[in-house]
Amino acid sequence: MIQINDRILEVRASKFRERNGLGSTDPIDPYKLLAELNILTNFRRLSKSFSGMALKTGNERFMLVNMAQTKGRQHFTIGHELYHLFEQPNFEFVMCDVGRFDKKEKEEYNADIFSSCLLMPEMGIKSTIPEGELSRGATISLPTIIKLEQHFGVSRTALLVRLDRLDLIRYKDYECFLTGVKKSAYELGYSTSLYESDNDQKIIGDYGTLTKKLFETDKISESHYYNLMLDIGVNIDEKLDESESIW
């Protein structure tokens, strides 16, 4: 069996983009991608030490993402779980704390590298950096760092690690950029939502449809059906105002 290394993971991420109609340089809309891949995804507030979970059973795929973490980190979690769901051999289930790049945990490390390559393609990064900052001996400026993380929808840490691995910076030389992240983006006129968590739980996929089907085919009880729907904030007994629903 071939040993997966970083270069192979880069190629796999590139092929994943190609298979799903994504350009080789463009940023990814992770929410649209999850919908197109028909991955039932639940965004919920969980302990901050827990990033997400992936589950695969037959052809069905499920993902849980911790919305208590920043949106940039959530996007990295999605890329990480996509590796487990589509690239890892014989995968079934895993709970993850992403972005550690720990080689002691082989598949978690692979998933981190894959997510980094998928969300931040090499040519996409290089084509966004001004030529003057790419020349030998030049340094990448803070405004360019912020532009890159905003463009690709990733956290400051994830971006700096990726730039380091592409030999565009030395991570230790840029550690100073890890403080005042939100403030630095705000002062340049960018939205700070990337560096904040979500407040509203959301579901991507046909959770409600699947749940109702289980109930109608007597796979689950009525009370179980109600409880499952309450988990996503839907009260079946709630009366809705239909007076303005025609138009």
Instruction: For 188-240, give the DSSP string.
Output: TT--SGGGS--SS-EEESSHHHHHHHHHHTTSS-HHHHHHHHHTTT--TTPPP
Q: Are 61 and 156 part of one and the same domain?
A: no
Which residues are CB-neighbours of 96 under 8 A, at least 6 positions away? 50, 51, 52, 53, 54, 77, 80, 81, 84, 108, 111
Task: Tell me which residue of 17, 76, 56, 71 sits closest to 190, measured CA to CA.
Answer: 71
Total domains in the chain come to 3
In angstroms, rounded to a whole number, what is the distance separating the alpha carbons of residues 127 and 61?
Answer: 34
Q: Is residue 15 part of a domain?
A: yes
Tell me the CATH number at 62.
Answer: 1.10.10.2910
Q: Are 3 and 64 part of one and the same domain?
A: yes
Q: Is residue 77 part of a domain?
A: yes
Q: What is the pLDDT of residues 17-35, one digit of tens each?
A: 999 999 999 999 999 999 9
* Residues of the chain under the 70 pLDDT cut: 1-3, 214, 219, 228, 231-233, 239-247
Which pLDDT score, from 0 to 100, does residue 247 have? Answer: 53
Q: Is residue 243 part of a domain?
A: no
Which pLDDT score, from 0 to 100, does residue 202 have? Answer: 86
Which pLDDT score, from 0 to 100, does residue 239 have? Answer: 60
Q: Are 30 and 52 part of one and the same domain?
A: yes
The token pair at 213 is 């089907």
Q: Are 1 and 54 part of one and the same domain?
A: yes
Which pLDDT score, from 0 to 100, does residue 65 have? Answer: 95
Q: Are 179 and 228 part of one and the same domain?
A: no
Q: Are 115 and 129 part of one and the same domain?
A: no
Q: Is residue 208 part of a domain?
A: yes
Q: Are 8 and 115 part of one and the same domain?
A: yes
First to last CA, the chain: 59
Q: Is residue 215 part of a domain?
A: yes
In angstroms, rounded to a whole number, what is the distance separating the alpha carbons of residues 13 and 72?
Answer: 19
Rounded to the nearest angstrom, the gap between the alpha carbon of residue 73 and the centroid of all alpha carbons in its chain is 7
Residue located via tokens 């407040």: 199
pTM, to two decimals: 0.87
Q: What is the pLDDT of residues 224-236, one digit of tens each?
A: 777 767 766 677 7
Range of the domain at 165: 125-188
